[in-house]
Structure 1
Amino acid sequence: MRQNPARRTALLDAAIEVLARDGSRGLTLRSVDKEAGVPTGTTTNYFANRAELLRQIMARTHERLTPDPVQMAETMKAAPSRELTATLLRQLVERMRGDRSSHLAMLELRLEATRRPELQADLTTTFADMLKSNIDWHLEVGLPGDRATVLQLYLAMLGVIVDDLTVPGLLQPYGIDKIVDDLVDRSLPES
């Protein structure tokens, strides 16, 4: 396998675009070559097979969806509060809208995992680790709410993200900011 990290990343980014646009069935090593604008067979030099490509797409989407540390540090200058929680949730929606392809690719990976037990095991481990890290971080920085509350926020925001990605007009009449504010108000009542 080739070891050029920049080329590997470019191929993974191309694969994310293909997966987001064409779905799992459209994701082939050849389609990634075409999307990346590289000679046919290049992707095969970097990924042993489609299953390996899917696993690495999962890792790359996680990298792409991780908040910018500088922006996060700036946001976290505010005191832990319900308002800060709402700000963080709105920023999550902004990141999703800023990188729709990564979120759509993750949805495609979830669907593909229903047919591939090995991918389901990888996804379950990855998502469980991310959820645990998010809950732990929420509690460590002193944001309001307990583990169960953070889990409820996660589940609610996942629904918001899926709807915004797949049927964006559905929630438009309600307004994402209002949805987030209502969610925070109901999940984290004032003390």
Structure 2
Amino acid sequence: MVQNPARRTALADATVEVLARDGARGLTFRAVDAQAGVPSGTASNYFANRDHLLHQAARRIHLRLTPDPEILAGLLRGSRDRALVTALMHDLIRRISADRSGYLAMLELRLEATRRPELRAQLTGTIREELEANTAHHLAEGLPGDRETVLVLYLAMTGLILEHLTLPEVLGHDALPALIDTIVERIVPAA
């Protein structure tokens, strides 16, 4: 059967939405078909099994959360200082907030990975590669700090994102910009 790439993408996006809304336990081919608005059985024609569906969801989330090249290029026109790192972290929160479902689905995948060794291996590889690429980019761009700076910033921002997306009332939405500023100020060296 010839597969339509646009439909495959729509099914992957539907998978992300089902994961975010219903969790991994609610992820079924039928739920994906319903979310995508396609005939029953369509998702099973595109994805061999549940593991394949989860793997494709992870890939799709990664693409959805990737920075816009034009916005990134605009930000990188600035001086290589703490202020630029702060701007990059604000952009990260903007992207994550704009695609809340994508990040919540990633959290569901992380939880599911604790029960599925194959998914854990795949997701570990993807996240490790992404962290390594972000670290290499930070260093290559001449941003302040070293590998450890990037790792600690990653961990702090991951915690902030988790709190913001799951229990936003704990910190309050209005506090978010100042918290990002504080995280960067405390972690990233001034020069």
Determine what percentage of the aligned residue pairs are the same residue. 55
Is contact 1:2-1:45 (8 Å) kept?
no
CA distance in 2, matches of 1:159, 1:20: 18
C-alpha distance in structure 1 between counterparts of 2:114 and 2:3, whole Å: 31
One-letter code aligned to 1:20: A
Answer yes or no: is 1:147 the counterpart of 2:151. no
Q: CA deviation at 1:119?
A: 0.2
Q: If the length of structure 1 is used for normalisation, what is the TM-score?
A: 0.97
Q: Which amino acid aligns with 2:166?
A: T
Q: Is the 8 A contact 2:144 2:189 kept in 1?
A: no
The CA RMSD over aligned residues, in Å, is 1.2
C-alpha distance in structure 2 between counterparts of 1:34 and 1:185, whole Å:
46
CA distance in 2, matches of 1:99, 1:173: 16
Change (3 A) 1:119 1:78: same
Residue 182 of structure 1 corresponds to 182
Q: Report if the CA contact (8 A) 2:81-2:190 is conserved.
A: no
1:4 counterpart letter in structure 2: N
Post-superposition CA distance 1:4-29 (Å, at most 9, x none): 11000000001110100000000000
Note if 1:51 corresponds to 2:81. Answer: no
SS in 1 for 2:169: coil
Corresponding residue number in structure 1 for 2:39: 39
Matched ranges for 1:105-184 at <5 A: 105-172=105-172, 175-184=175-184
Contact 1:96 1:103 in 2 (8 A): yes
Mapped to 2, the partners of 1:152 and 1:53 lie a distance apart of 32
Secondary structure of 1:149's aligned partner: helix
Q: CA deviation at 1:190?
A: 2.6
Post-superposition shift, 1:174? 7.1
Amino acid at match of 2:135: I
Q: Could you say if the C-alpha distance between residues 33 and 78 of structure 1 is closer, same or farther in structure 2, counting changes exceeding 3 Å?
A: same
Kindly provide the CA deviation profile for residues 51-70 of structure 1, in whole angstroms up to 9, marking residues without a partner as x: 10000100000000000111
Q: Secondary structure at the match of 1:175?
A: helix
Counterpart CA distance in 2 for 1:183 and 1:27 is 35
Q: Check conservation: 2:82, 2:188, Cα contact below 8 A.
A: yes
Runs of 5+ unmatched residues, structure 2: none
CA distance in 2, matches of 1:27, 1:7: 18
Question: Displacement of 1:165 after TM fit?
Answer: 0.7
Secondary structure of the 2:112 match is helix
Change (3 A) 1:79 1:118: same
